[in-house]
Chain A
Amino acid sequence: MRLQYPTNIKVVRVPCTGKVDVLYILHSFEKGADGVYLVGCLEGGCHYNSGNLKARKRVEQARKILDTIGIGGERVRMYNLSSSDGPLFAKYATEMDEKIREMGPNPIKLAKKKKAA
């Protein structure tokens, strides 16, 4: 089953979503990412017990900061799925892509363009 998902999604591998520092999320936006999402194990099913729950908190933290500085907290999301669930992975990828397209590009990029123009 080779489901298709949007090409603009690039995966950074981590051993557990609990390894995703809020700094990585913020840094990605600094570097021009339009959205960042974490894909972790199902809640209650973390391979490392609780990493995905911590990750959810980091996502909330990042959302608050991005809202405060006008980038948009909605650009960060947390998804949970089981490793065998390819269709859901593709569905979330598509959903994320749609959500971000709705929000438009990372405003930093727009600001930069505007400045250059």
Chain B
Amino acid sequence: MSGLESNQTTIRGSVMIAGGGVGGMQAAIDLADSGFKVHMVQKDSSIGGTMVMLDKTFPTGDCSMCMISPKMVEVGRHPDIKLHTLAEVVSIDGGPGNYRVRVKLQPRYVDAEKCTGCGICEEKCPKKVTSEYEQGLTVRKAIYSLYPQALPNTRAIDRDNCIYFQKGKCKACEKFCPSDAIIWDDSEQDIELNVGAVILSPGLERYDAGMRQELGYGRWPNVVSSIQFERILSASGPFMGEVMRPGDHKHPEKIAWIQCVGSRDSHNANPWCSSVCCMYTTKQAVIAKEHDASIQPTIFYMDIRAFGKDFDKYVNRAKEEYAVRYQRAMISTVREEPGTGNLILRYAEPDGKLVDETFDMVVLSIGFQPHKEAVAFAKTFGIELNEHRFPKTDPFVPVETTRPGIYATGIYQGPKDIPETVMQGSAVAGRAMALLSEARGSETTVIEPPAIKDVKDEEPRIGVFVCHCGINIASVVDIETVVNHAKTLPHVVYAGNNLFTCAQDSQEQMKAIIKEHGINRVVVAACSPKTHEAIFMDTIEECGVNKYLFEMANIRNQDSWVHSATPEVATAKAGELVQGAVARAASLSPLDEKKIPVIQRGLVIGGGVAGMNAALGLADQGFEVVLVEKEADLGGLATRLTATIEGADIKTYLNDLIEKVAGHPKIQVLTDALVTGFTGFKGNFTTEVIVGTGMYERKIEHGVVILATGANEYVPTEYLYGQNQNVMTQIELAERIEQSGAEDLNQVVMIQCIGSRNEGNPNCSRVCCQSAVKNALRIKKLRPEANVYILYRDMRTYGLMEDYYMEARGLGILFFPYDPDNPPAAESAENGVVVSFQDQMTGRQLKVRADVLALSAGMTPEDTEELANILKLARNAEGFFVEAHVKLRPVDMATEGIFICGTAHSPKLISESVSQALAAASRATTILSKTQLTLSAVTAEVEQDRCASCLICVRSCPYGVPRINEDGVSEIDAALCHGCGICACECPAKAIELNWYKDDQIICKIDALLEGAV
């Protein structure tokens, strides 16, 4: 007993993550990159979650698998992430800092150590089973991997369907397995994990569309769920990306999407909004149309909830460029037309007229709900749930459950889209890091860098790996022709192809091939080096090949995607691109990466809720933070807010937060401070700041930057604002109610989308619908006899906020949709305003005299033009900072070492700002937690014998890096060099070369690409 007690006082440097979807993966990567050991416990035989099932993602149309695949590989190859699949937590005891978790592992019946993932067993298995991953649209085998790129790729035997297990005969898998990996007597195992913190990211399950019998799912074959439609669209799906009806494999033209199946419906389904369906539906409609131009998509909806960054722009494009029809209507029934397989949808038009319309195919946009076993799951972990069986969390600490040291993230915490899930994945990691900071590095592995073979004097031996990228490439380019062409090229000793070269199994295969053929230079002909180069470089390094002896040919983005209309030409071009890559590969020489020290101090720009949380996120881990605020006081926009929609008191929270920040020994707050200069690179930045009324200059050295410059409420020019004192914004209304109650409010009108979703700002400001509902509810509660009218375009009370919208409707708050082409009008009246608008149900013009007209003003970003110039950061047209990648890098900026959070990124709620702030702190810690960083070897180098000391490099470098040294020749510090190559280009003596882009390495590629032209 005493042993256990002493154990509990020890803080452990490890974290268990239950659930291996994209959010769990992000948390795992952040933690592992920041010095913590991660145990990922996944119920399925592979990690991946929902995202691996998706075809494309909105709003960029990026391929989902292409994005998540590299992340999975990163998880799979990280020395400090241990995967436990087919695993479930049985019990947990201990406390924050030291939990003991018992995990039950289901037998896999395949030895992961022996299995190479070749898949022969799967091919030979005679038993066909409905595929869960393909949503029942096709079959898998009884020995299987969840999906082709599964991680781990070790197959598992599905005992319930295995012929041998059920009938005692077969063993085909064992017979054909080349590695002797089948274990028939594999059994359940119990393991114990000792970890400091626990992260819950088990995700949600999808609503069973069959519950809505009137919609005909499961009855009419051409009614599919939205997740089935994802698979139908997917190039690797059951129909290879061809849009077909499951019933008869005919190409549908008219496709209807029915929204809110399983969401916003407390009778048949769930009362909440699932937050993502409006956008994925829009995406499916657009992509379907891209696949087949004859498709006419119609979306039946209640409200289009395109509330995220740039989402409305996407919906507008869907309407304008893809002719997607949005019809506001609830579908009462779906019937099959006898004989045709077509479907007749009955719905009421806005004026109440009933219509029957026939479609070729129907997609039900199903929502999310907690797993059936959510209550038991919560009980196992000892956490409380809310009334909807989501974990109970606080709006100000949205990732903390009711049990300290146990965190909830992703859609498990509440419905959300991929970027928010990724963001929250980082956020939970940040909280866990803060809890366990003293044990950082105590459980991580120290790996010796692999011994790199010296190939300097070897003849180039090039291996070429051509990727099908599913059918992204292979459907256009004839891979075999490309492989055969590659075999004829100089120095090529191996050429082969893979379905997905980036998948874990292919990577392992690649390593084996490299060793077998003594390959010393690698060419991968696949997708973009921007996303995949690093992965392949690491792979080749693992087998002793210097990672710079690598080149990619982008035969997808630069070929199959853009020349799909001319497959033969595309195949020829792929060959030429490979030829260029091979020529370059032959010319490459190994490069060494230098290490530089990290300044373990963070700079946070902006002292609002996001900035302060980010600062605390770092400071609580023991890192010094300098917080720069341009105003005289901390607080930002939140100083004007009173309460959240949940009723949480913002003022008290904010005061506590300011106190914590101001009193934190690791945080230095500079107010009245303006950033005037910025230099350096990830791990080593110097920022110049002018501080205080005295305008004294400060130079801050730091390793990371977190941007949290915030936003303001839009100042309306519409509806008599500023002219009539009874016209005010929602923030002003909340302040007014706070100060003087609602006694004098008999009639209140609110108009939504002021300064949002218009020409000047095409996007939704996300928070205004809930602001309106929040204030309306507050008025109604203080003065039940008051009449509140909300004039809206789409009510966007997404996620669990739908409760409040329903409550508002229940309390008699009146909601009238308006058409933006026929907006409400207002005129001043005695002691108030008269608002007139059209009621769409009756078509009649209504007039309401209001004591207060509240304008739901949108959000405008702080003026950051100068800051953006100084830091060289991109902003979108509306002035919000642009993150590195909208889906998977939502808090990273394109410049490494700079992170973004809060409303500087896009409009958001306080709870969302807090999440993103914690996420930014977590991402920043992946740098700050290291004492040194490895630099890219792509830097400029001077051949000093040839240097004429002309100073042209000194004069042309954008960063002032080159200098003429004591020997009178130019010298370039690799740690400072950004690798642009301008000096190398301008040098008149041709004495400077940019490593990896040396003149001959570029010229030989040009020559190869132009071979035979003259």
Contacts and interface: CB of A to CB of B under 8 A. Distances in A.
Q: Do chains A and B touch in the complex (CB under 8 A)?
A: yes
Interface in B908-949: 938
B981 A33 contact: no
Determine the main DSSP class of A at the interface with B: loop
Contact of B986 (A7, A15, A54): A54
Contacts of A112: 1014
A15 B533 CA distance: 14
A15 B1014 contact: no
Contact of A19 (B874, B894, B984): B984
Nearest to A1: B61
Contacts of A2: 290, 561-562, 564
Contact of B985 (A46, A54, A108): A54
A24 B1006 contact: yes
A117 interface: no
Nearest to A30: B1014
B757 to A, nearest CB: 21
B188 interface: no
Given A27-B1003, A48-B958, 18 more contacts: A2-B561, A4-B565, A5-B562, A14-B981, A15-B980, A15-B997, A16-B981, A19-B980, A19-B994, A24-B1002, A24-B1006, A28-B1006, A31-B1014, A33-B1010, A48-B980, A51-B958, A54-B982, A106-B1014
A28 B577 CA distance: 16
Interface of A: 1-5, 7, 10-16, 18-21, 23-24, 27-28, 31-33, 45-51, 54, 58, 82, 90, 106, 108-109, 112
Interface stretch (B72-80, B104-112, B568-576, B720-728): B568-576
Interface in B842-869: none
A4 B1003 contact: no
Contacts of A23: 999
A24 B1001 CA distance: 11
B1009 interface: yes
Given A28-B1010, A51-B980, A13 B562 contact: no
Interface in B285-322: 290
B558 interface: yes
Contact of A21 (B570, B980, B985): B985
A62 to B, nearest CB: 13
23 contacts: A1-B61, A2-B562, A5-B563, A7-B573, A10-B576, A11-B558, A14-B1002, A16-B981, A16-B982, A18-B982, A19-B985, A27-B1006, A28-B1006, A32-B1014, A33-B1010, A33-B1013, A47-B980, A50-B958, A51-B982, A54-B956, A54-B986, A108-B1014, A112-B1014
B879 interface: no
Given A7-B563, A18-B980, A24 B1003 contact: yes
A116 to B, nearest CB: 11
A103 to B, nearest CB: 16
Given A7-B563, A33-B1010, A19 B570 contact: no
B554 interface: yes
B580 A10 contact: yes
A42 B986 CA distance: 21
B962 to A, nearest CB: 14
Nearest to B566: A7
B872 interface: yes
A24 B1000 CA distance: 10
Contacts of B979: 15
A28 B569 CA distance: 22
Nearest to B981: A19
Contacts of A50: 958, 982
B692 interface: no
A54 B980 CA distance: 12
A31 B1010 contact: yes
A14 B982 contact: no
A23 B984 CA distance: 12
B958 A31 contact: no
The 9 A-B residue pairs whose C-beta atoms are closest, nearest first, are A32-B1013, A19-B981, A49-B958, A32-B1014, A48-B980, A18-B982, A16-B980, A31-B1010, A7-B569
Nearest to B986: A54
B290 A1 contact: yes
Contact of B1009 (A5, A12, A82): A12
Interface in B660-714: none
Give the size category of B's interface with A.
35 or more
A62 B911 CA distance: 56
B392 interface: no
Nearest to A112: B1014
Contacts of B824: none
Interface string B974-1009: 000011111011100000001001010011011101
Nearest to A49: B958
A106 B1013 CA distance: 10
B529 interface: yes
B997 A19 contact: yes
Given A5-B562, A23-B999, A11 B554 contact: yes
A21 B564 contact: no
Contacts of A33: 1006, 1010, 1013
Contacts of A27: 1003, 1006
A49 B1010 CA distance: 31
A1 B872 CA distance: 28
Nearest to A31: B1010
A10 B980 contact: no
Contacts of B956: 54
Contact of B997 (A3, A7, A14, A46): A14
Interface string B101-132: 00000000000000000000000000000000
Contacts of B985: 18-21, 54, 58
Interface string B468-480: 0000000000000
Contacts of B1002: 12, 14, 24
A21 B986 CA distance: 7
Q: Which of B959, B978, B1014 has the most CB of A within 10 A?
A: B1014
A96 to B, nearest CB: 14
A2 B956 CA distance: 38
Contacts of A19: 980-982, 984-985, 994, 997
B577 to A, nearest CB: 7
A96 B566 CA distance: 19
Interface string B762-773: 000000000000
Given A2-B564, A32-B1014, A90-B562, A15 B999 contact: no
B554 to A, nearest CB: 7
A57 B994 CA distance: 20
A45 B1003 CA distance: 27
Contacts of B874: 45, 82
A50 B957 CA distance: 9
A108 B1010 CA distance: 14
Contacts of A20: 985
B314 to A, nearest CB: 11
A11 B529 CA distance: 13
Nearest to A11: B558
Contacts of B1010: 28, 31-33
A54 B140 CA distance: 57
Contacts of A49: 872, 958-959
B953 to A, nearest CB: 12
Contacts of B580: 10, 12
Contacts of B938: 15
A27 B580 CA distance: 15
A110 to B, nearest CB: 10
A77 to B, nearest CB: 17
Nearest to A89: B562
A14 B994 CA distance: 10
A99 B331 CA distance: 53
Nearest to A105: B1013
A14 to B, nearest CB: 6
A19 B1002 CA distance: 10
Nearest to B61: A1
Contacts of B558: 10-11
A59 to B, nearest CB: 12
A3 B563 CA distance: 9
